[in-house]
Amino acid sequence: MSDTITLAAETRDRVGKGASRALRRDGRVPAVVYGLNKEPTSIHLEEKALTKALMTGHFFTSVIMVDGQRTLAKDVAFHPVTDRPTHVDFLRIAEHSTVTVAVPVVFADEEESRGLKQGGVLNITRHEVELVVDAANIPTELTVSLKGREIGDSIHISDVTLPQGAQPAIEDRDFAIATIVPPTVPTAADEAADAEAGVGVSEGGAEG
């Protein structure tokens, strides 16, 4: 389960573009907290603390305590040039709320996959999986073992061990997460193109 992240926040007295720009100049990031049938609250956070939390790699799968409120981060906006955070949306949750979160998928035991040893390529179709899970039991990541996997094998969600009580948000099919595909074999056309390119380089060198 992910650790809880705590972020200090202050209530925003003014909203709007001008007020938000002023906050950012002071090293603060505007944000909003909503949910649980309560009125949305406009707040602002210290940019340095927010950036540190974002760099943990599990910001979106952690319960985040914001100004004493239990939340999940639902969206972060970034500046298109500087990539600095410019706004955050937080969803209030109860301690044991059932929530839907996108959990990253990581692959382990590559060295024990015969398919990969034979030159196969791991083709990942889902880098994250949406789970419906208790907010107190959100996993940081889903680990998928490639031990014993051969070329042509597909890894489906049914092959993944999920936390107790968790289930995929997609329930109507056993969707694939990754496949081990055969290595790419150069075609005759590819080889001819490579040979032609080599001739061009040689001719160019001779002229010089």
DSSP 8-state code for residue 182: P
pLDDT value at residue 48: 96
Q: Which three-class secondary structure state does DSSP give residue 59? A: helix
Domains of the chain are 5-93 (2.40.240.10), 99-181 (2.170.120.20)
Q: Which residues lie closer than 8 Å to 203 by C-beta, 6 or more apart? A: none
pLDDT value at residue 92: 95
Residues 44, 85 contacting (CB under 8 angstroms): no
Q: Report residues of the chain scoring pLDDT below 50.
A: 201-202, 206-208
Sheet with 142-145, strands from edge to edge, namely: 142-145, 98-108, 128-134, 167-168
Is residue 173 exposed (0-12), middle (13-18) or buried (19+ Cβ within 10 Å)?
A: exposed
Q: For the whole model, what pTM was predicted?
A: 0.73
In angstroms, rounded to a whole number, what is the distance separating the alpha carbons of residues 120 and 110?
Answer: 11
pLDDT value at residue 188: 54
User: Tens digit of pLDDT for each residue in 65-75?
Assistant: 998 899 999 99
* C-alpha closest to that of 5 among 47, 43, 46, 60: 60
pLDDT value at residue 208: 46
**Distances in whole angstroms, Cα of residue 39 to Cα of each of 74, 95, 96:** 17, 19, 21
Bridge-partner residues for 14, per DSSP? Answer: none
Q: Taking CA 70 as the corner, what is the angle to CA 73 and CA 49, rounded to the nearest 5 degrees? A: 55
What is the per-residue burial (b if ≥16 Cβ within 10 Å, else e) of 40-53? ebbbbbbbeebeeb
